[in-house]
Chain A
Amino acid sequence: MSFNLRYKPFGERSILIEWPERIDENILQDIIRFKDQIYKNNIKVIVELKIAYNSLLIIYNTVCRNFENDVIFLKKLYKTLKIEHDNVSNRWKIPVCYDSIFGIDLEAISKEKDLSVTEIINRHSKAFYTVYFIGFLPGFLYLGGLDKTIFMPRKMSPRLKVEKGAVAIGGNQTGIYPNESPGGWNIIGNSPVSFFDMNKEVPCFANPGDQIIFQSISFNEYKNIKILVESGNYQIESEVIYD
């Protein structure tokens, strides 16, 4: 699929490329393909290449003296993208404990949605989520694929302290807080897995285009996995998926 892209200068050294403004897996795949192509073929030195739902930002190490020329180059490069693409990604199985110890907003969502707590957990843990990008906090995954019936507006006043590992719903999104931080999302559980590991050369295991599934675990299982994670002996279950 080929999209109608918009190219905008963004400061002295950057070009912002925008896709239609929506959350769409076809757009994500197109952005990833274009990003890889720019990595491989660009003739100018790039200091940063980052993506979000419908955008790609290129920051060069020198001032863009001729924006039009840079855009012509990028447009040509975009045309060379192959539609078929051997897309290999990972599907990660993330253990989540939805016990009331952690799921402090489950009752409130249950009341609001007129669904039992068990049903909310079912709907949250049966979906396949797509990783769109990482942002907001180090290791925070922007996930698409939340069941519409459990969309829940952000809290009116954010909590000053949300625990590390908190699994939460904010509007039409769900996510995991990689570290303790303030936050306004509704907390439904906690994952013992580390989403941001400073001991690793690449601090995040998941990449844009990967899939995430949540597996409901008991509090005892949570404690056992937590011990393994902390001693560096926990291996997240994953499988390779081919598109």
Chain B
Amino acid sequence: MIEVIKTGFYDSIQDLGRFGYQQYGIPYAGVMDISAAVLANTLLGNDSGEAVLEMTMSGPQLKFCCDTYVCLTGADISPSLNEKPINLNAVISVSQNDMLSFGRLRHGMRSYMAVLGGFKTEMVYGSKSMYKGITGQFRIAKNDRLAISESKKVSNKKNAKIKGMNTYLESNIIKVYKGPEFDKLSKSNIDYLFSKPFKISKDSNRMAYQLEEKIENTLEAILTSLVMPGTIQLTPDGQLIILMRDCQTTGGYPRVLQLAEKSIDSVAQKSLGQSIQIELINY
């Protein structure tokens, strides 16, 4: 068990998402930054898709009720164990009654904590990813006791660590493919999209990231069609919306671009107000 003493801004348990249920209108959910979550699990020797704790901008305060190993990746929210700073991207041994806390956000947006053997929280339709209306709770709360694997097994990778993983965290280049309605964009739209920086609006969350700069929109709405995480929609008033992991399954706005999968992870680590540069890659 891990006891939640205090929560951060937005902490939830996520795995790689709920697949195969889009046909019932159920969003994927899942970790916003897949690379970071997979790295945390891999360093611990877990299956890459084990459920992890996702923390946004600030972290919770957690008390461990058993000995285990953890690994933190993604954003740096100054983690410390019993008030001693600990490293990211490294396996950390934790003892019963240890207290994990977080401080100032140094870089990135979302931090991940994997535990040896993974979190053993509620599983719904094949996934532990928290989502409002699907799982009993959509974020963790104070006094929650989060079930984890309590096996005495020692991590076989207890010295594992990795350096230089931060390029995608820091890069402001977001790579995209053409979306299904890309060819309906005007030449000036296209020039603007790939030459000007776009600022991430404060109205951004697990469902979607909005970009502040608007472009002239001459495209008509489409008959409701299919979308997925990474789809960039163009709204009638010219706003670009990047759909993220909690997005709806369908949508009626033109889908002008589709993020490369790795770039979805990058966007998930961009702080609000930061600028990105969109770069087209060909199929």
- Mask for B213-226, Cβ within 8 A of A = 1, else 0? 00000000011111
In the bound complex, residues from chain A placing their C-beta under 8 Å from that of B133 are 138, 179
- Is the CB–CB distance between A203 and B226 below 8 Å? no
> Which chain B residue shows the least CB distance to A181?
B133
Cα distance, A179 to B19, chains bound together (Å): 21
- Is the CB–CB distance between B228 and A204 below 8 Å? no
CB distance from A143 to the nearest CB of B (A): 12
- Is the CB–CB distance between A11 and B177 below 8 Å? yes
Q: Which of B22-30, B45-53, B79-87, B149-157 contacts A (4 or more CB under 8 A)?
A: B22-30
Q: A14-B228, A22-B223 are in contact. Are A52 and B24 (CB under 8 A)?
A: no
**B 117-154 contacts with A by CB, 8 A:** 124-125, 133-134
Select B180's contact among A18, A23, A53, A178, beta carbons within 8 Å.
Answer: A18
- Is the CB–CB distance between B258 and A140 below 8 Å? no
In the bound complex, residues from chain B placing their C-beta under 8 Å from that of A13 are 261
A57 at the interface (CB under 8 A from B): yes
- Is the CB–CB distance between B250 and A133 below 8 Å? yes
> Which chain A residue shows the least CB distance to B281?
A12
Select B179's contact among A10, A140, A203, beta carbons within 8 Å.
Answer: A10
B259 at the interface (CB under 8 A from A): yes
- Is the CB–CB distance between A67 and B283 below 8 Å? yes
- Is the CB–CB distance between B249 and A135 below 8 Å? yes
- Mask for A116-137, Cβ within 8 A of B = 1, else 0? 0000000000000000011111
- Is the CB–CB distance between B261 and A203 below 8 Å? no
Interface centre among A52, A179, A203 (most CB of B within 10 A): A52
Interface centre among A50, A134, A179, A202 (most CB of B within 10 A): A50
Q: A11-B177, A12-B260, A138-B24 are in contact. Are A198 and B124 (CB under 8 A)?
A: yes
- Is the CB–CB distance between A140 and B283 below 8 Å? no
Instruction: Sort chain A's interface into a size bin.
Output: 35 or more
CB distance from A174 to the nearest CB of B (A): 14
CB distance from A15 to the nearest CB of B (A): 11
Cα distance, A51 to B22, chains bound together (Å): 9
Q: A21-B223, A52-B250, A136-B250 are in contact. Are A204 and B180 (CB under 8 A)?
A: no
Given A48-B22, A136-B248, A204-B25, list of 16 further CB < 8 A pairs?
A8-B180, A11-B177, A11-B230, A11-B261, A14-B228, A48-B19, A50-B22, A50-B226, A51-B226, A57-B226, A59-B228, A67-B283, A135-B250, A137-B248, A179-B133, A198-B124
Q: List 26 A-B contacts (CB under 8 A).
A: A10-B228, A10-B255, A10-B258, A11-B177, A13-B261, A14-B228, A16-B226, A47-B20, A48-B19, A49-B23, A50-B22, A50-B23, A50-B249, A52-B250, A54-B225, A135-B25, A135-B224, A135-B248, A135-B249, A138-B24, A138-B133, A142-B250, A202-B24, A203-B24, A203-B26, A204-B24
Which residues of B are interface residues toward A (Cβ below 8 A)? 19-27, 124-125, 133-134, 177, 179-180, 222-226, 228, 230, 248-250, 255, 258-261, 283
